[in-house]
Amino acid sequence: MAAVKTSTTELGESRVRVEAEVAPEAVEREVRKAAAELGRDLRLPGFRKGKVPPEVVLQRVGRDAVVGDAISAALPTWYEQAIHDAGLVTVGEPKIDVGDPPPKGEPLTFTIEVAVRPRAKLGDYEKLEVGRREPAADPERVDSEIHRLRESLAKLETVDRPAQLGDFLVLDFVGKVDGEPFEGGEARGYLLELGSGRLIPGFEDQLVGAKAGEERAVEVTFPDDYAEHLAGKQATFDVTVKEVKAKRLPELDDDFAADAGGFDSLDELRAAIEQRLREADEHAVEAEFREAVVDAVAERADIEITPELVEAKAREMWHRTAHRLGHQGISAQQYLQLIGKTEEEVVEEAKADAEKALRREATLAAVVEAEGIEVSDEEVLDSLREASGVPAGQELRPSEEKKLRKALKRLQSDGRDELLREDIAMRKAVDWLVERATPVPAERAQAREKLWTPDKEQGKSGQAEKSELWTPGA
C-alpha cells in the first residue's frame, strides 16, 4: 500500500491543488523514528544514555510532544511522494498547508498548491527545414591563437631606457605604514609587468618612466576590501628598480612555427589551428542545430505560458544556481555582491531564458507522449554509468555492475528514477526530431523567416502581422 494517496484539482493557468493523505502506518513509523531520536538524549533510570526505546519515550513525554517533529522531518519525503503519485512536473516553489497532527491510527492530510509544466498542443513537427550554419574557423580566433603562442614563446631582454607600459621591472621594495614596515610589504628581485594590475591600484603607474638603478617613493592607499590590518590605510613603498626588461615576441616566420608545434612552415601552423578550431566549432554547430530544431517545433506548438509561470520558473532557476554555488562554498549573498545585483534583478533577467525553457520542456514532453517514447532499465543504467564517469561502451567489473543495479532498484523503490527517465526520454525526443529535420543553409532559413505567408498574416494572436519583406500579394 502506498504511503501517500492523492487527488488533483486543476486550478487553471498551469496551477493545481493536490489533496494528499498519509497512511496511519506511515505516520506512526515517523513518530517512532522521532521518539528514537529523542531517546538518544534522554537520561532515564534503568537505561543507558542513548538506549531509551521509542515506546518508553512516548510513554514519558507523550505522543503529542513527538508527532509535530515527526511530521516536520517526514514532510519533504511525503511531498515528493505526493507529487510522484499525482504524476506532476512542478515549476517553482509550492504552497503547502498541513492539517492538524492526527490521533494515533488516523491519517495525516495536507494540501499542495503549485505551478506545473504547461501542456503543449503540437503543430507540424516532422520533416521540418531548420537552418544550420557551416562550421568555420574565425580568422580573428586563428590570429588570437597565434598571438597566444607568440606570447608563450616571448623572451625578456634587458633594455637601457625608461620603462613603458608592457615592460617588466625587476624590483626591490619595502612598504611602510606610519613609517613602520609591515608584514608582507617587502620583496627582493620581484618581477612586475607594468600595466598588469597585479599590485595595489596606483603602484604601477608611478613606476612608468623609471630607469634601472633609480629609486622611487611610491605612495598608495590600500583598498577598503584589503586585509583588515591594512584596509583603507596609506602606505609608502621605497622602490629600487634593478632592471628594465622588454618583451620580445618571436617573428612570424617558419622558425616560430617549428618552435610552436614542430611545423615546417607558418602556413602549416595556421592550417592546423584552423582545422582544430573548425573541429571544435562542429560540436557547437551540432548543439545549436539541436536547439534550433526544438525551438522550431515549439514555435509551431500552442502553449499557454502565463507571466506567473515564467516568474516561478525564473525563481526556480535562481534557487538552483544558489544551491550549486553553496556546494562551491559561495553563499547567494556573496554571489549577488560579486555581480552587483539584487535577487530580484537576477530573477528578472532570467525570465527570457525561463520562458524558453518552459516552451522547450512542454514541447519535448508532448513529443514523448505523441510518439510513445519509452525508456528501458538498460538506458537508465547507461545514464548512471555515464554519471559515474564510465566511458560509453566500457564494461564495469561484475561487483561494480551489481552495485549499479542495486542503486537503480533503490531509485525505483522510492520513485526517484522518474526524473532520470524523463530526462532520458526528452533527449531521445530531441534525437527523434533531429533525425527527421532537414538542415538548410542558415542564410536561407533566415531569409525564409522574413517572407510573407498567409499563415503569418493572421499570426498566433489572430492579428495581422507586418511583413518584413514585400512579396507579390502582400
* pLDDT, tens only, 252-310: 999 999 999 999 999 999 999 999 999 999 999 999 999 999 999 999 999 999 999 99
Q: 248 to each of 22, 183, 351, how far by Cα in Å? A: 75, 35, 49
> Are 66 and 57 contacting, i.e. CB atoms less than 8 angstroms apart?
yes
Which amino acid, one-letter code, is at 314? A
- The dihedral built from the CA positions of residue 19, 92, 309 and 374, taken in this order, carries a sign that is negative
Task: Please check the confidence at residue 139 and state whether its pLDDT lies above 80.
Answer: yes
Render pLDDT for 234-246 as a digit per residue (tens, 0 to 9). Answer: 999 999 999 999 9
- Tell me how far CA of residue 229 lies from CA of 107, 198, 218, 237, in angstroms: 61, 20, 20, 17
All cell numbers assigned to 243? 632592471
- Separation between Cα atoms, residue 192 and residue 205, nearest integer Å: 12
pLDDT higher than 50, residue 468: no
pLDDT tens digit sequence for 157-179: 999 999 999 999 999 999 999 99
Alpha helices in 62-136 (DSSP H): 64-86
The mean pLDDT value for 328-346 works out to 93
Of 435 and 46, the one with more pLDDT? 435
The span from the CA of 220 to the CA of 203, in Å, is 6
pLDDT value of position 46? 64
167 is written with which cell numbers? Answer: 615592460
**Residue 400: pLDDT band by 50, 70, 90 thresholds?**
confident
Grade residue 457 by pLDDT with cuts at 50, 70 and 90.
very low
Percentage of the chain surpassing pLDDT 90? 70
As a residue count, the chain comes to 474
Tens digits of residue pLDDT in 311-325? 999 999 999 999 999
The overall average pLDDT reported for the chain is 88
Give the per-residue pLDDT at 290. 96
pLDDT value at 432 more than 80: yes
Task: Output DSSP code: residue 39.
Answer: H
Non-local (6+) Cβ contacts of 414 within 8 A are none
Percentage, residues of the chain above pLDDT 70: 90
| Residue 403 cell numbers, joined | 552495485
- The pLDDT of residue 458 is 44
- 442-453 CB burial, b ≥16 within 10 A, e <16: beebeeeeeebe
For position 284, what pLDDT does the model report? 92
pLDDT of residue 460: 43
Q: How many CB atoms lie within 10 A of CB 97?
A: 10
Say whether 228 sits in a helix, a strand or coil. Answer: coil
Is the per-residue pLDDT at 185 higher than 70?
A: yes
| End-to-end CA separation in angstroms for the chain | 65
pLDDT of residue 405: 84
**CA–CA distance, 348 with 311 (Å, rounded to integer):** 8
All cell numbers assigned to 87: 504524476
Give the pLDDT confidence score for residue 429 in this predicted structure: 96
